[in-house]
Each structure stands twice: as C-alpha cells, then as structure tokens.
A and B are shown apart, each in its own frame.
Chain A
Amino acid sequence: MDIGQVFTFSALGSQFLVGLSRAMILFIVSAGMSFVLGVLRVPNIAHGSLYMIGAFSAFSLANLFGGGSGGFWLALIAAPFVVAIVALVAERSLFCHLYEREHLMLLLFTFALMLILGDLVKMFWGADYRSIMAPDALQGFVSILGSPFPRYNLFLLIVGPLVGIGLWFFSNKTKIGKIARAAAVDREMVGAIGINVSWVFAFAFVLGCFLAGLGGALVSPMVSVSIGMDHDIIMEAFLIVTIGGLGNMWGALVGSLIFGLTQSYGVLFWPQFAIVFPYIAVVIVLTWRPRGMLKSVW
C-alpha cells in the first residue's frame, strides 16, 4: 500500500466527515443512555437492545408503510415510539418496583432485560440480515473537497445537532426537564415537594430509550440490520458516557466525537485493529481525567 496515496488531504478530510457522522449516531444513542444514567443513576445495559429494536422496527414499519421514500420517513418517526412503548411497558410492569433497592439490582435488571429483548428480537425477526433503502433524496454522493461523500451521512450531520439542541432545550427550558434534572441531584427533596418521583423516573427512562430507538432507526440504512448489533453499540455507549462524565449530555457529545473520529481514522491507518483505537483513546482520557472529560452529575 502506498502511504502517500492513502493519506492525501482529501482522504483525511472525507474520513473526518465519516467519523463525524458516525459520532452523530453515537451521540444520539449515548445521550439517551447518559440521560437515564443521570436521573436514575443506572447504566441501562438494555440500551443497545432498544437500539436494535429501533432498527428492526424501522425495517418492518418501512415495509408496512409501503416502502420507498414515504415509508422510510414514516418509519423513522414511528420506530422510536415503538421502542418507547416497549420501554414504558418494561418500566411500569417491573422496573419501577425496584427503585428502592440498591443500584446493583437495578443494573442487573437492565441486563436481564437485555437478555430477554435480545431473544425476543430473534424470535420475532429471525436471525437474517435486513437492509433498508435510504429515500431517493438521500441516496448518492455529493462532492466535498473533491472527494465523494454519501448524502445520508450529510443528513446525519444535520440531525445530530438538532437532537442535541432539542435535548438541551428540553432539559433546561421545560418544566419536566428541570424536574428530571432536580431528581438527578436530590430525589428525596423532589419527592418531598410533592412530585411523583416514580413517574419522573419513568419519563426519563422512556425518553432515554426513545433516543436509543431513534439512533437505531437512523443507522438502519447504513448497516445491515441483524441480531448482535446490540452488543457493539452498548459497549461504545458505555465507553462514551464514561469518558464524557456520567450523566453529562455534553460529555456524551465530546465522547462521541473522540470515539467516532478515532474509529474512522483507525480504519484508515490499521484496518484489522481499527477497533482498538477508540479503546486506547479511552485509556488515555481516563488516565488523564479519571472521572471523565466533563463534570458528572453525581
């Protein structure tokens, strides 16, 4: 391989954009995880499964709505709600009875949920690989700095910041967002002033899972949708929220950028061990700042 050809300016530039668009998916998913972590103080291990359900239901809904561009857009909107309903059912039927227990039990519950959801997806959709076509407007390439760049990735670069702004607006400007943040800091005090903390937690959990579903639906045209995609994303989301600072949404953004970019440049430099680069970045960050880049909420 000729080094000079690989590391041209345009190759580095387009890889930067690829990494950036990957980081947007990671941000949407890990912001959801971080939100749950911040309010409930439990890393939701089932988050990856909900992401997977988001991708699978986007596939099924797109077919249900007649395929094509219209089907895709409707599926993109409806799939996260399917995931949110799954999360709400799990939360209200089982999870909400555990809030008084120690955190380890909550964590193990989310693990049990992951195991169950993983097998339910296998029962429902089977072990085949699925793929979804992006709508016509987002297919093909645009030329940036002289190198072709997929339009869909460009679309992600727009959606990611929108979700970030929406989440910021929600948690800082709306009443329920403020209550959720207050419950993250001092749940007893929030309960004492007459707010039903259990429902606040339910809401935070469902919102976090909604974002997981959105991430899954958004990623579905880019990858082959299959069982096992939950394991990859959950580990990445774990790492991202850890290096970002637990429960900090902007930390999730910083972590996603570090992760997405090291991943995409890793592919360029050493394809076989590309998977190792983000981990090395994590080790460096945590050696330097053991509790993450930004302040954690607890």
Chain B
Amino acid sequence: MFKDVFNLKSLVLPGAIFVVLLILPPIIPRFYTYILAVIFVTALLAMSLNMVVGHGGLFQFHHGAFYGVGAYTVALMLTKTSLPIWACFVAGPIMAALVGLLIGAFCIRLTRLYFGMLQISLGSLVWAIAFRWYDLTGGDDGMHGIPMPPIISSSKGAYYFALIILAICMIVIYLIFKSPFGATLQAIRDNPDRCEAIGINVKRHQLIAIVIATFFAGIAGVLFVVVEGSVFPDLLFWVYSLEIFIMCLLGGWFTFAGPILGAAIMVSLRTFVGIYTEYWTLILGIILILLIFFLPEGVWGYVLEKLGSRPKEAIEKGSK
C-alpha cells in the first residue's frame, strides 16, 4: 500500500525537513524549541480541521471545542486519577471523538451555514461548561502545572514527542486522503447530489470524517498539554476555532501541506507581533481581509499554482 501512495520523489522534501527538525533542538535557544513545539501542535490541529473543511467541504466552525475536550480530558485524568499515563493519553482523543460524534450527529442533519452555526452553538455549550464548572475545571483560570512523566516534561522532550506524533499523524492523514474513503469524501465535497444519486451515503461519510477529524484534534489537545503543561477555557472559545479556520485558509485549504504552513505563519506572527503590540486581533483581522481579497487560495496554494504542479482550474473548481 505504501508503494502506491508514496513515491520517492515526493518524500525528499518532507524527509529533509523532518531530519532538520530532529537535529535542531541542541543548536537553537530554548525559546525557539518551545515555539516550534507549539507550531507542531497547532499544525496538527489545523490539519485535522482541514480534513473536514478542505477535503470534506463541511463548515466545521467550532473545531477548537474538540481540541479543548481532548486537552481537558488528559489534564483532568492526569491530575484527578491515578490511571497509567498512556491510558490518559489515549483517553483524550477518544473523548474528543465521542464528543465529535455527538455534536456531529446533531449538526449533520443540517447543511452548509446551518451546520456551521449549530456547531458554533453546541461547541459554545462545551465551552460554557468548562468555563463555569469551577470545582472540576478551575473555571476561567484553567489548570496549571499538570504532572508529566520526566521523559517528556523537559522542553526538548516535549519537542521530540510532539514532532514524532505529528509525523505519525501526518502519514496517517495522508493515507486517509489517498484511500477510497478520502476520495469519496472529496467527491461529496464537489457534488453531494451526484454522490447521493450513485448510492453513496453522504451523511454517513461526512459523520465518519468528522469523527476522524475530531479524534486528531483530540491528539493535538493531548500534545498541547504536554507542551504547555496547562489548560484553559480559551482553547474551546469560538474565536480561537475561527482562528484555526483562518490558518487553513492562509496556508491553502485544497492542499495537504497548506494548513501546516498556515499554522506555522500564524503562530510565529502571533509570537513576534505580540512582543511589539497588544493589538494582535487587529492585525489578524487585517491579515484576513488581505487574504480574502488577494490570496483566496492561500500561500501554499499560490506557490503550487505558480510552480504549475496543480492547474489553476482544479483550485477554482474546488473552491466552488
């Protein structure tokens, strides 16, 4: 199966980047190690969102809710129970996928904007619970100083853990895209009516896609806890969800690597702009407007288009 999906040429660039990232931590300052680790977490989150948005054509507006559920599940299990670490780490994504199934089952009955709006509302309910339930979640303070096993508690350990999990998830997501299921999903995005007519169960495929995507969002949530050692309700806030959405748009949503690039740009901007000004959201808004007007296919989509590896019509057709 691997031979069909991957060819040597396409593996050179990702492989080279992976090797560079592996040897970086001893060389660069600790702060940059941390920023890179945050980028890995965010990249995984954006990729999982792009699975349903770019490839599934669903308006998944509140993806952050599932990310937060994954993070909170791990944080709560690590602090309040004495279960083994691996069980806590596995429980995070599973819980996120369960919530994804529950919310998805509600939303999937609606289409397009209705879907998105209902999801924002239901996701906000999850946020409200995390925000209000002081006794369990610490309310708006969140939870800090979550105990981690020594091997991943250092910044380098967290870095390598996040990098390796990201690499594994990327391969799995790529395989899903190239599988018959992934192809069906894209067909549904491009023409749901015709898919329905040839006997594809559209709703079921979309729901499965949501569950898979929320599972990966849960993994990103676990990685967040590993990297930051804390959780707070802002993770599940709807504004953050739309920020992830913008990352996909910024990178290019009809591409595989786009969301990773988008996440990297956003996290770096947020970090370095944040040093100079407190008006980060203003800058984010301006970036978004510039994107909408001048670069709707995203940075990576634009590069691919210029390189000619993907015809422009495909992008235009995809955006309809």
> Contact residues of A with B, CB < 8 Å?
41, 43, 94, 97-98, 101-105, 107-109, 111-116, 118-120, 122-123, 231, 235, 238-239, 241-242, 246, 272-273, 275-276, 279, 282-283, 286-287, 290-291
Residues of the B chain whose Cβ atoms lie less than 8 Å from the Cβ of A94: 289, 293
**5 interchain residue pairs of minimum CB distance:** A115-B285, A119-B282, A116-B285, A112-B288, A279-B125
Q: Name the B residues within 8 Å of A231 (CB-CB).
A: 237, 239
A120–B279 CA distance with the chains assembled, in angstroms: 9
B120 touches A (CB below 8 Å):
yes
Q: Is the CB of A112 within 8 A of B114?
A: no
Q: Is the CB of B279 within 8 A of A122?
A: yes
Residue in B59, B132, B242 whose CB lies within 8 Å of A273: B132
Contact yes or no, A115 B132, CB < 8 A: no
Q: Is the CB of B296 within 8 A of A115?
A: no
Looking at B19-27, B105-113, B168-176, the stretch in contact with chain A turns out to be B105-113
Given A275-B128, A283-B106, A291-B110, the answer on whether A115 and B284 have CB atoms closer than 8 Å is yes
Known contacts A279-B128, A286-B118: A111-B281 contact under CB 8 Å: no
B279 to chain A: closest residue by CB: A119
**In whole Å, how far is B74's beta carbon from the nearest beta carbon of chain A?**
24
**B282 pairs with A238, CB closer than 8 A:** no
**CB pair B121 A120 closer than 8 Å:** no
Subset of 17 A-B contacts with CB under 8 Å: A94-B289, A97-B293, A102-B319, A105-B292, A108-B246, A108-B292, A111-B288, A115-B281, A115-B285, A116-B281, A119-B282, A242-B121, A282-B121, A283-B122, A286-B118, A287-B106, A291-B110
Query: What is the distance, in angstroms, from B199's C-beta to the closest C-beta of chain A?
Result: 24
A276 with B106: in contact, given A112-B289, A116-B285, A119-B285 (CB under 8 Å)?
no
Assess whether A112 is in contact with B117, with CB atoms less than 8 Å apart.
Answer: no
- The answer to whether B317 has its CB under 8 Å from any CB of chain A is no
Decide: B296 and A105 in contact? CB cutoff 8 A. yes
Residues of A near B80 (CB, < 8 A) are: none
Compute how far the CA of A287 lies from the CA of B108 in the bound complex, rounded to whole angstroms. 12
Interface residues of B in 112-144 (CB under 8 A from A): 112-114, 117-118, 120-122, 124-125, 128-129, 132-134
Compute how far the CA of A109 lies from the CA of B249 in the bound complex, rounded to whole angstroms: 12
List the interface of chain B (C-beta within 8 A of A).
Answer: 59, 106, 109-110, 112-114, 117-118, 120-122, 124-125, 128-129, 132-134, 237-239, 242, 245-246, 249, 279, 281-282, 284-286, 288-289, 292-293, 296, 319-320
- Give the complex CA separation of A103 and B106 in angstroms: 23
Give A242 to B122 CA distance when docked, in angstroms: 12
Cβ–Cβ contact A102 & B320, under 8 A: yes
Residue of A109, A235, A246 near B289 (CB, 8 A) is A109
Summarize B's interface: helix, strand, loop or mixed: helix
Cβ-defined contact, B282 with A120, below 8 A = yes
Taken together as a complex, chains A and B put the C-alpha atoms of A287 and B106 apart, in Å, by: 8
Cα separation A238 to B62 with both chains bound (whole Å): 13
Chain A nearest Cβ from B293, distance in angstroms = 7
A272 to B133, CA, bound (A): 8
Known: A43-B113, A287-B106, A290-B110. A113 touches B285 (CB 8 A): yes
Residues of B within 8 A of A241 (CB): 117
Of chain A, the residue at the smallest CB distance from B134 is: A272
Asked if A238 contacts B285 (CB within 8 A), the reply is no
Given A94-B289, A108-B292, A109-B289, residue A116 in contact with residue B128 (CB < 8 A):
no
Q: How far is the CA of A246 from the CA of B112 in the complex (A)?
A: 12
Inter-chain CA distance A120–B285, complex, in Å, is 11
Given A105-B296, A286-B106, A290-B110; A275-B132 close (CB under 8 Å): yes
Contact in complex: B292, A112 (CB < 8 Å): yes
Q: How far is B59's CA from A144's CA once the two chains are assembled, in angstroms? A: 47
**Bound-complex Cα distance A101 to B296 (A):** 10
Query: Are A242 and B118 interface neighbours, CB within 8 A?
Result: yes
Query: Which A residues are in CB contact (< 8 Å) with B129?
Result: 273, 276
Other-chain contact of A238, B120, B128, B293 (Cβ < 8 Å): B120
Contacts of B282 in A (CB 8 A): 115-116, 118-120
- Given A105-B296, A119-B285, A238-B121, 7 additional A-B pairs, CB 8 A: A105-B292, A115-B281, A116-B289, A118-B282, A119-B281, A279-B121, A279-B122
Q: Which interface residue of B245, B249, B281, B284 has the most chain A CB atoms within 10 A?
A: B281
**Interface centre among A41, A102, A112, A272, by most B CB within 10 Å?**
A112
B134 to chain A: which residues have CB within 8 Å? Answer: 272
Chain A contacts of B284 at CB under 8 A? 112, 115
Q: CB-CB < 8 A to B237: which residues of A?
A: 231
User: How far does the Cβ of B227 sit from chain A's closest Cβ, in whole Å?
Assistant: 25
CB neighbours (8 Å) of A291 from chain B are 110, 114
Max count, chain A CB within 10 A of own CB: residue among B238, B285, B286:
B285
Q: Which residues of A contact B289 (CB under 8 A)?
A: 94, 109, 112, 116
Q: Which of B106, B112, B132, B286 contacts A272 (CB 8 A)?
A: B132
Instruction: Say how far A49's CB is from chain B's closest CB, in angstroms.
Output: 10
Greatest chain B CB density within 10 A among A98, A107, A113 is at A107
